[in-house]
Chain A
Amino acid sequence: KPCNNLNAFDIISFSSGFDLSGLFEDT
C-alpha cells in the first residue's frame, strides 16, 4: 500500500472527535 503518501494530519482528521456535526443533530 502506498503509505508513504499518507499525511499524518490527514489520518488524524478521520477522528470522530474532529466532527462537530453532532452538535447540530436532533434539533
Chain B
Amino acid sequence: MGCFCSTSKNVKTPGYEDPTILASETPFTVSEVEALYELFLKLSNSIIEDGLIHKEEFQLALFRNENEKNLFADRIFDLFDVKRNGVIEFGEFVRSLGVFHPNAALEDKIAFAFRLYDLRQTGYIEREELKEMVLALLHESDLVLSDDMIEAIVDKTFKDADTKDDGRIDQDEWKAFVSQHPSLIKNMTLPYLKDITLAFPSFIARTEVEDSE
C-alpha cells in the first residue's frame, strides 16, 4: 500500500531557500545552513505546524513561555521578519542569524543593533526611546532604580553618544559610540553558531550539496 507522508522532512517549508545561495550570502557554509534548517523545522513547528516561525514560537524558544512579553524579543522578531508579514521564513532566519555569527562583519552587527534600538524606526535613537527601553528592562528584572537615577543615566549616555547635540543618536554617532564601548554589541555574537553542525548532526545523512571548503 502506498503511503505518502506529508510531514516528510523532504517536503520543504514555505519560503524555503536553496542552502547554496544562503551560504553564499552569509558567513555559514552549506552544511551549516542545512543544520540551521533542522533548527528552523523544530522552532517553526513547535506550536503551529506550518513551517513558519510565529512570534509565539519565537517567544516559546527564548523563554519557554509563549505568552512572555518582552520588548526586545519583540523587536528582534520584527527585525528577523524582513517581509513584515508576521512570520519568520527560513531565508529570513538564516540571513538574520548570519549577523550574529562570530565571523559576521562588525559593521553589520553595529547596524543591526542600531535598528534594534531605533524602536520607532525613525533612523535615529531618540532620548524617549532610550528611556523607554531602560524602563522596560527594569520592569522585567529585579533592578530598582529611582526615576532621578534613570534620568541621570539616560542623560549621561546621551551626553556621551549624541556628539552633535541634536537630541538624537544617528548611525554615525552610534558607530563612534560602539567603538568606544565594544561591550554594547556583545549580544550580537552567538558562539553557538560556530558549532551549529555539532548541535544538529542529523542533517549529515541527508546533505545534498558538498561544502566548497
The chain A residues found within 8 Å of chain B, CB to CB, are 3-4, 6-25, 27
Contact = CB atoms under 8 A, between A and B. Distances in A.
Contacts, number: 98
Contact of A17 (B76, B153, B181, B192): B76
Nearest to A18: B187
A25 B186 CA distance: 20
Contacts of B133: 8, 12
A4 to B, nearest CB: 6
A4 B156 contact: yes
Interface of B: 39, 42-43, 61-64, 70-76, 100, 117, 130-131, 133-134, 136-137, 140-141, 143, 145, 149, 152-154, 156-157, 160, 181, 183-184, 186-187, 190, 192, 199-200
B196 to A, nearest CB: 8
Given A8-B130, A8-B157, A27-B39, A20 B62 contact: yes
Q: Is the interface of A mostly helix, strand, loop or mixed?
A: helix
A4 B64 CA distance: 35
B63 A22 contact: yes
Nearest to A22: B62
A27 B130 contact: no
A24 B157 contact: no
28 contacts: A3-B152, A3-B153, A4-B152, A6-B156, A8-B153, A9-B130, A10-B183, A11-B137, A12-B72, A12-B133, A12-B136, A12-B137, A13-B184, A15-B70, A15-B71, A16-B63, A18-B76, A19-B62, A20-B62, A21-B190, A21-B192, A22-B61, A22-B62, A24-B39, A24-B192, A24-B199, A27-B39, A27-B42
